[in-house]
Amino acid sequence: MVCIVIALGGSLLRPEVDDRHAWLEELIIIVRDRVSAGDRIGLVIGGGAPAREGIGLAQPLIDDVHHLDKIGIAATRLNATIVREALSDAGISVSGTIPHRVDEAVQLLESRPVVVMGGTTPGHTTDTVAIRFAIATSANRCIIATNVGKVYSADPRNNSNADAFDKLTHDELQEIVGPDKHTRAGGSSVVDPVGVGEANRANMTLNILDGRETNLIKAALEGNDFKGTTIITEEN
């Protein structure tokens, strides 16, 4: 049995994604196919637009990062609810609740093939939740579906000479994203540095890909080429 956890960046649900309804419909078909094939899937949904909006509104009034994080978490749970309801409505056997903790999610995945969740506690992003969920279920790998195709040596929007990588070690990725500390609510690097540190210590393989392309999510779930960046430890 294959068990895979996917972090779906909340930006994938944003209006600027070409056709977000088509995207959701394609996601539902992919999940349904993998469930039919016998896979177990954890979906961890990011906060996207509502997180940005909520944190932006509160930021001038609230200094404490962890208090702002709670607003971000509420947004991730809203987005997780949208995805959970859509999957359930399509007849997929998804857990009935959005767990608040990873251990709860692990338990739910024992009785249902699909569990959808958002954030848990302040101090990290949903990437880290997905990585913890993957580690706790001894998942085969953790997919990080974001809105860039690969990990680059620098932000490609500001640096046209940035190199794109097919493969990196956890240490190399940590160098790129920075030390494994949570410094600001809503802060976006390609993968949460806190999660990279945890994946490194647990030797969890990460597949980072462009989640706007649902065929790449499908390819990664099936173990095929997903045209993104694979993060593995050196011995592998």
Q: Distances from the Cα of 148 to the Cαs of 9, 26, 50, 214, 216, in angstroms?
A: 11, 19, 20, 13, 12
Q: Is 222 exposed, middle or buried (0-12, 13-18, 19+ CB in 10 A)?
A: middle
From 18-26, 125-133, 154-162, 171-179, span contacting ligand UTP (CB under 6 A): 125-133
CB of 64 to ligand UTP, least distance (A): 11
Should residue 59 be labelled a site residue for ligand UTP when binding is judged by CB under 6 A?
Answer: no
Give the one residue of 47, 195, 211, 228 binding ligand UTP; rule: CB under 6 A. 47
Is 88 in a helix, a strand, or coil?
A: helix
Say whether residue 54 binds ligand UTP (CB under 6 A): no
Segment contacting ligand UTP (CB under 6 A): 22-30, 31-39, 124-132, 155-163?
124-132
Touching ligand UTP, residues 146-175 (CB under 6 A): none
Tell me whether residue 201 is exposed, middle or buried, using C-beta atoms within 10 angstroms of its C-beta: 0 to 12, 13 to 18, 19 or more: exposed
The residue within the footprint of ligand UTP, chosen from 116, 129, 194, 199 (CB under 6 A), is 129
Residues 191-230 that bind ligand UTP (CB under 6 A): none
Identify the three-state secondary structure at position 116: strand
Judged by CB under 6 A, which of 95, 126, 174, 214 binds ligand UTP?
126
Q: Considering the rule CB under 6 A, would residue 48 count as an interface residue with ligand UTP? A: yes
Smaller CB separation from ligand UTP, 99 or 113: 99
- Which residue type occupies 180? D
| By CB under 6 A, residue 97 contacts ligand UTP | no
Specify the stretch interacting with ligand UTP by CB under 6 A; choose among 86-94, 186-194, 200-208, 223-231: 186-194
Do residues 166 and 231 make contact, with C-beta atoms less than 8 angstroms apart? no
Task: Compute the distance between CA of residue 20 and CA of residue 13 in angstroms, rounded to an integer.
Answer: 6
Alpha helices in the chain (DSSP H): 20-36, 48-58, 65-89, 102-111, 126-136, 170-177, 193-202, 214-221
Give the residue from 120, 129, 144, 141 showing the smallest Cα distance to 40.
141
Query: Pick from 50, 119, 193, 195: which binds ligand UTP (CB under 6 A)?
Result: 119
Cα separation, 147 vs 212, whole angstroms = 6
Task: Based on the shown chain and the rule CB under 6 A, indicate whether residue 10 belongs to the binding site for ligand UTP.
Answer: yes
Rounded Cα–Cα distance for residues 143 and 85 (Å): 22
Q: Pick from 69, 180, 198, 210: which binds ligand UTP (CB under 6 A)?
A: 69
Contact residues toward ligand UTP (CB under 6 A) are 9-11, 46-48, 51, 69, 72-73, 76, 119-126, 129, 185-188
